[in-house]
Amino acid sequence: MNDDAAIRNVVARLALLADEGDLEEYAGLFTEDGLWEMPGSTIQGRADLLAGAIERRASGNVGPGTNTRHVITTQAVELDGDQAHSDAYFQFWVNTATEPSVVLFGRYRDRLVRTDQGWKLAHRHISYG
């Protein structure tokens, strides 16, 4: 798989895993010191990223059985050696089994790095609107 496709796959896998997948695998897509920023929340480090994902699932607002989906659109990838930037819009859908509606729309600004295990997310900045 070429680098562009591999990077797009990391972004897509994160969305799929957040919705229905294994959270250990989700956290494993971040670097050990990965940073996740969004309005009102900053999480750093793979262990804390995993704990945050578990907490979001425990709230009952996301994850298996909640009928929520993260949809990634309009993605652009820029490669620079062993680093890359990805810009993508996202939509967060609820009630997907009955009356689907978008409750969040925003942008992921991601910085990824090439590791021995493939591309990993080093920094995700989330903005709304």
Q: CA-to-CA distance for 17 and 13, rounded, in angstroms?
A: 6
> Which domains occur in the chain, in start order?
3-128 (3.10.450.50)
> Is 128 in a helix, a strand, or coil?
strand
Neighbours of 91 (CB within 10 A): 14
Q: Where are the beta strands (DSSP E) in the chain?
A: 30-38, 41-44, 69-80, 83-94, 101-115, 118-128
Identity at 67, one-letter amino acid code: N
pLDDT at position 42 is 97
Quote the tokens at residue 113: 């790095």
pLDDT at position 83 is 98
> Is 98 in a helix, a strand, or coil?
coil
pTM of the model: 0.94
Cα dihedral 59, 62, 64, 65 in deg (nearest 10): 80
Tell me: the pLDDT tens digits for 43-74?
A: 999 999 999 999 999 999 999 999 999 999 99
Report the percentage of the chain scoring pLDDT > 70: 99
Sheet bearing 118-128, strands edge to edge: 41-44, 30-38, 118-128, 101-115, 83-94, 69-80
| pLDDT of 35 above 90 | yes
Give residue 99's Cα distance to chain centre.
Answer: 24
pLDDT at position 31 is 98
pLDDT at position 65 is 93
Tell me: the pLDDT tens digits for 84-121?
A: 999 999 999 999 999 999 999 999 999 999 999 999 99
- C-alpha neighbours within 13 Å on the C-beta side of residue 35: 8
Average pLDDT, the chain: 97
pLDDT at position 1 is 66
